[in-house]
Structure formats: structure tokens, C-alpha cells
Structure 1
Amino acid sequence: MKDAGLPAKDWTPREMRHSFVSLLSDSGVPLEDIARLVGHSGTAVTEAVYRKQIRPVLLGGAETMDRIFT
């Protein structure tokens, strides 16, 4: 966390795990591979609980900021 310039107190292991899964998913890594990487026996938990699509949220925020500051 320190090397990345992120405040360690703001990042729990749970948040890092969710971010890891989301970033892999957004990068096109197959769900089956992600599930294996995080130790799930199948894809159901990975899909329902861990995989959050970060990119649409980031893009939505960036588009809103562009509208505000144009």
C-alpha cells in the first residue's frame, strides 16, 4: 500500500480482494480463472459476491466531471 501511495488504513484485505477480482474481470480474465485464483470451487460466489464492475463506475464519474467542467 505504501509503495502505491495508498493509505493502508483505508484498505482492508476484503477491499483488496474485491478490487483484485474486479480489476481482473474488467481486464477480460475469464470468470473461471478468477474463481480459481481466489480459491473458489466454482464461479457462483465469484460472480455474485466479489465481481463488481469498476470500469462503468469510473467512466460514469469521469463523464459527469466532464459535463460539470465544460
Structure 2
Amino acid sequence: MRLYRYLTGPDDASFCHRVSAALNQGWSLYEAPTLTYDPEAKRVICGQAIVKEVEGKDYSPDLDLSRQ
């Protein structure tokens, strides 16, 4: 099965660590990251799509994607 996640968060080291952790758990980057500005919080928000192939399992909407 192929899984998809979209990570978002402030453009800071913690976001980069979340993406790095996912890459080290077998996820792959999917296309380019996105950026937008939150004028209320006065900060940049990042987004990065990631995908992962998981053998031997079937997709279910009940899956906890953060644990795959």
C-alpha cells in the first residue's frame, strides 16, 4: 500500500526535525515544500508532502499514519 501524509508547521528547526524523522522512518519527500505567511502569528508556515510504500498491509481509513 502507498501512504500519504502532509506535514505542516512553523518554519523552524522543529519542522525540519519532523521531516527528518519521517525520512528516517522510510517516508520519501513528495514534490516541493510549500510556504505561506501567517500574518496574525507573524511567521512563515511550511508544508511538506511525504509518501511511503508499506508491504503486506491493506489501506484502511483507521490507520494511524504517524505510526506507519
TM-score w.r.t. length of structure 1: 0.29
Going by fraction, where is helix more abundant, 1 or 2?
Answer: 1
TM-score w.r.t. length of structure 2: 0.30
Q: Which has the larger radius of gyration?
A: 1
Q: Which has the higher contact order (CA 8 A, sep 6+)?
A: 2
